Amino acid sequence: MHESLLCSNCNKKWSRQKVRGRKPLLCPSCLTATEVSSSIVKPSKKLSPKKLSTPQPVDNPSSDVHELEKNISSEQKLTKGFVIQKCHPKPANYQELRESTKNGSVWKCSSCGHILKLDIGITDVPVHRCTPNMVSLKLYERIS
């Protein structure tokens, strides 16, 4: 099956076998003319691969990662627990909450009314997604 196309350079109609992909903007005669003129004007040259430059150290780093690296002493290693502790710090009242919930506690979601019963002590208020595809988290309210 053939299709007819309009050349954007010389505005002539030309036809070709219909194939998948992008349609060419230039007819074959204009395409060969541009290839010949470009090879005369701009000779092809081989490009040498560029060397990647190494990043230079910043004198005044402002990111949290660099500040964490400064705070780590030479004896202290960057462990999984240390990273979790820095990313998810404990709330200010975590000791009070741990003491008050060490014998168990009951929590209720203020949105959907879901009840959560815990038999262990916790250090932070539990959160809940009312539906499985819900993006936001709802805080539980303590009943007892």
Task: Establish if 79 belongs to a structural domain.
Answer: no
Task: Establish if 87 belongs to a structural domain.
Answer: no
Pick from 17, 24, 20: nearest CA to 3: 17
Q: What is the mean pLDDT of residues 67-94?
A: 76
pLDDT tens digits, 49-59: 656 555 565 55
For 42, half-sphere exposure in the C-beta direction (CA atoms, 13 angstrom radius) is 6
100: confidence class by pLDDT, cuts 50, 70, 90: very high
Q: Tell me, what's the pLDDT at 69?
A: 64
> Under DSSP, is residue 34 helix (H, G, I), strand (E, B) or coil?
helix
Q: Which is more confidently placed, 75 or 8?
A: 8
Instruction: Tell me which residue range forms the domain holding 124.
Output: 94-142
Task: Establish if 78 belongs to a structural domain.
Answer: no
Residues 6 or more apart in contact with residue 47 via CB below 8 angstroms:
none
pTM score: 0.43
Number of domains in the chain: 2
Query: What's the mean pLDDT when you consider all of the chain?
Result: 80
Task: Establish if 126 belongs to a structural domain.
Answer: yes
Task: Establish if 65 belongs to a structural domain.
Answer: no
Pick from 21, 40, 22: nearest CA to 32: 40
Task: Establish if 32 belongs to a structural domain.
Answer: yes
pLDDT tens digits, 112-127: 999 999 999 998 899 9
Q: Which is more confidently placed, 48 or 94?
A: 94
Task: Establish if 111 belongs to a structural domain.
Answer: yes
Task: Establish if 57 belongs to a structural domain.
Answer: no
